[in-house]
Amino acid sequence: MLLILPELEKHIPDMHVLVTTPFHPAYMSEERIKKAKNLKLLLTAGVGSDHIDLKAAAAAGVTVAEITASNVVSVAEDELMRILILLRNFLPGYHQICNGEWDVAAQSYRAYDLEGKTVGTVGCGRIGRELLKRLKAFNCNLLYYDKFSIGEEFEKETGAKWEENLEEMLPKCDVVVINVPLTERTKGMMNEDRLKKMKKGAVIVNNARGGIMDRDAVVKAIENGQLSGYGGDVWYPQPAPKDHPWRSMPYHAMTPHVSGTTLDAQVRYSAGVKDVLDKFFRGESFPEEYYIVKEGKLASQYL
């Protein structure tokens, strides 16, 4: 992907439409947007447009859209998987088998059931709600922190309770899942102070964006036992350098940025990209929820 960059620089001034995947932070920077005098549309093939300077796009009159909801089920399923991998301490057992070993105690001394645990999602939009629906079957206590309520009906359906104050939710949770976009407000949101407020030995799953976490505070919390696990697929920066400390810290369940890229999701977002491009070239508007910047205004989740 990085090889594309020099070519992109060359073509920026002529470009009318640019389709990107959610990529390296600051990919479509203010500087690039200013150079793109003909640019009309920045389209994200997936969900999450933090790699674009949205204010600069709004100021330049560029429309930003994404294929909203195309991979939210894929991400929610992955989050559920990572919660179980961390709580059950699955990976050490897997490595034992690969290494020809057999030691039940070495895995089970840190293994817990999910049932009865308190799980809180930080952000409860499309992915957060898909996760809550799935967690209901596990008989957990469900909490969510968001700017907006999910509504009485959905609260009743899932049993989830709204926490309007993040500081008050964190100490209650055995598992915290990050499901907010990366914005000016959420950047570095999970800092050392907030990690210290969490229940000792809790786990975090973050498939949202790496920049929401304080990288080194996570490593410290894992090393001193404040967190007993950290899992996810998003990093800062991306691709993660070889010496990124999350690669080598203990008790992690990290992968490259894959959770929203199942073959099913790829079918959905590539069809969405085709549909949006067809509409754009016919001069038609897109489904309202696809707009991240429209006529100079940012979508509510990015405010």
Ligand X SMILES: NC(=O)C1=CN([C@@H]2O[C@H](COP(=O)(O)OP(=O)(O)OC[C@H]3O[C@@H](n4cnc5c(N)ncnc54)[C@H](O)[C@@H]3O)[C@@H](O)[C@H]2O)C=CC1
User: Would you please indicate which residues are annotated as catalytic (active-site) residues?
Assistant: 71, 209, 238, 257
Question: How is residue 286 annotated by DSSP?
Answer: P
Pick the piece of the chain touching ligand X (CB under 6 A) from 5-13, 71-79, 220-228, 274-282: 71-79
CB closer to ligand X, 145 vs 251 = 145
Our finding on whether 179 is near ligand X (CB under 6 A) is: yes
Our finding on whether 210 is near ligand X (CB under 6 A) is: no
Our finding on whether 146 is near ligand X (CB under 6 A) is: yes
CB closer to ligand X, 41 vs 208 = 208
Q: Which residue has the tokens 């907030």?
A: 194
Our finding on whether 181 is near ligand X (CB under 6 A) is: yes
Our finding on whether 168 is near ligand X (CB under 6 A) is: no
Pick the piece of the chain touching ligand X (CB under 6 A) from 11-19, 67-75, 88-96, 219-227: 67-75
Q: Which of 180, 182, 115 is nearest to 145 (CA)?
A: 180
Q: At its nearest, how many Å lie between ligand X and the CB of residue 238?
A: 10
Q: Which residue has the tokens 């959420």?
A: 186
Burial class (CB within 10 angstroms; exposed 0-12, middle 13-18, buried 19+) of 249? middle
Our finding on whether 233 is near ligand X (CB under 6 A) is: yes
Our finding on whether 207 is near ligand X (CB under 6 A) is: yes
Query: Which neighbouring-strand residues pair with 253?
Result: 231
DSSP element (H, E) containing 226: none
3-state secondary structure of 66: strand
Bridging pattern class, strands 291-294 and 297-298: antiparallel
Our finding on whether 131 is near ligand X (CB under 6 A) is: no
Both tokens of 209, joined, read 């964006």
State the first-to-last Cα distance of the chain, in angstroms, to the nearest integer.
Answer: 29
Question: How is residue 302 annotated by DSSP?
Answer: G
Our finding on whether 75 is near ligand X (CB under 6 A) is: yes
CB closer to ligand X, 70 vs 89 = 70
Both tokens of 255, joined, read 């992968």
Among 16, 103, 148, 216, binds ligand X (CB under 6 A): 148
CB closer to ligand X, 103 vs 264 = 264
User: Within the chain, what is the greatest distance between any pair of CA atoms?
Assistant: 63
Among 18, 33, 39, 127, binds ligand X (CB under 6 A): 127
Amino acid at 119: V
Among 93, 120, 260, 272, binds ligand X (CB under 6 A): 260
Query: Which neighbouring-strand residues pair with 63?
Result: 41
Amino acid at 152: E
Residues that bind ligand X (CB under 6 A): 46-48, 71-72, 75, 123-128, 146-148, 179-183, 185-186, 207-209, 233-234, 257, 259-260, 301
